[in-house]
Structure formats: structure tokens, C-alpha cells
Amino acid sequence: MLGIVGTGRIAAALVTGLCTSERPPAKVLVSPRNAETAAKLAKRHAMVSVAADNQAVVDGSEWVLLAVRPQVAREVVGALRFKPGQKVLSAIAPIADEWIDDAVKPGKLVARLLPLPPVEQRLGPIAFFPGDRDVEALLKPVGTTVPLGSKHELLVIWTLTTLIASYYGFVSHAVDWAARNDADPQAARTYMTSMLHALSTIAAAPAAAPPAELAQHAQTKGGLNEQVARDLAAKGWFDAIGPTLDAVRRRLEGRG
């Protein structure tokens, strides 16, 4: 039995991904904190039921996922009574969250994890720390599992998620340019997203060369890809990424 404390967007995506996977859980118990979302999940998936309150989720579950907002996390989790040996997962942003380990005792915080909205469609990465076979088995049906070696590494990976909006913005600007130049907008969107999906698939292959090497392979001397890469580099397009992510990481660490 998997219990979910906090039924926001990420939790709902994870529940949907699990329940529509090839190996769905036998039963999922969700909290009524977001009543509308919880009711929709229960209506959509036969294995989902809504608990009376957060404590009922804990009482009725072997695994418990904490998926509440950081602003209220200490209050919500601190009010719960966990069972000896109970396995707890935290999807709470790992910012000054050392208190969680003690708050869930006599249960055990077995992993901190980072699921993203695409898990609803069983796509994308799920980073977690520490690496744990049971946690990986639980998460594998809904995405690409990425076990990490430290909490610091999880925070660094968490920082990379802030590139999502910029990625979509990049696609949008490219498609808009094509439309302004008389290409059909839907055709441009289909071509652009399919091309990027193909490139990501190649880069994600286990035996793939490093991204920097793939970038070099994509450039013919004097060719068009080389021209664009050189022009964007000259404009500081790539150089801006590191400092921007540094600023985000400092903010996540409470230093900015």
C-alpha cells in the first residue's frame, strides 16, 4: 500500500503514472488535503481511495510519500505519527530539511526524490537519494530512475529543473521564426519537437558520446550548424547558463 500525504500537481502526476503503468500498485491511499484532485484520482483509478485525513494515510500505508509544500511541510509532517519501520519518501524540496529524518521516526526516511510532471505519462527522469533497490523498483514504471550519491547532488540536479521553461521558450521562439517566414506553424512545431526528441534520445543512449562531443560531431567545418553555434557562443548564449544556475542554486540553499 502506497500512501500520499499532499495531493498537489506532482503527487497527482506520480499517482496517475503508477496507476496506468504495466505494474500498477494494488492500492493507493491519498490525503484529502486537495479534495478536488484527490476525488478525481479516486474516480479515475480503481485502486485509489481517499483517506479521512493525513494520519489515516500514514496508518493505512506501508510506504508513505510526503509531497507537501515546503512552506507548510514542518507543520504537516510534525503532526503525524509514523509506525516503526515504515518506509517514507520525501518529494519536499531539499532545502534545510534535515528535520524530516527525525520527524518520521520510528519510521525511516529511505529516500528524497525529485519527480517531474511528465511522470504522469511515464516519461522523464526521477532523481533520488540515496540509491535504494526498493525505491528504484517502485519508481521505475513511471520514468528513468536516476540514483544519486549525495543530498548535495540532489540539490544540484534540482537546479537543472529550472531550465524547463527556458527550453519551451527556445522551442517557441524557433517555431515563431519559422511561422514569420511562411512555414505552417503546426508543421514547424511538429518538426522542431520531433527533431529535439530524436536528439535527446540519441544523447540519452547508454553508449552515447558526451554532449560536447555530440555537438562537435554535428558541426561541419564551414557549415551551417557551426555558424549558428559560433554566433550564439559569441553572444554569450552558452556562457550565461552556468552563472544563471549558480544563482538558482544559491537561492535553493537559502543564500540568495
Q: Is the pLDDT of residue 127 over 80?
A: yes
All cell numbers assigned to 255: 543564500
Find out if CATH 3.40.50.720 is the number for domain 2-148: yes
Q: Kindly report, residue by residue over 196-253, the tens digit of the pLDDT.
A: 999 999 999 999 999 999 999 999 999 999 999 999 999 999 999 999 999 999 988 8
Domain spans of the chain, in order of start: 2-148, 162-252
Q: How many CB atoms lie within 10 A of CB 219?
A: 15
All cell numbers assigned to 226: 557551426
Of the CATH numbers 3.40.1350.10, 1.25.40.10, 3.40.50.300, 1.10.3730.10, which one belongs to the domain with range 162-252? Answer: 1.10.3730.10
- Cβ(28)–Cβ(15) under 8 Å? yes
Torsion of the alpha carbons at 79, 81, 87 and 93, rounded to the nearest 10: 10
All cell numbers assigned to 45: 483509478
- Between CA 160 and CA 172 the distance in angstroms is 20
**Average pLDDT score over the chain:** 93
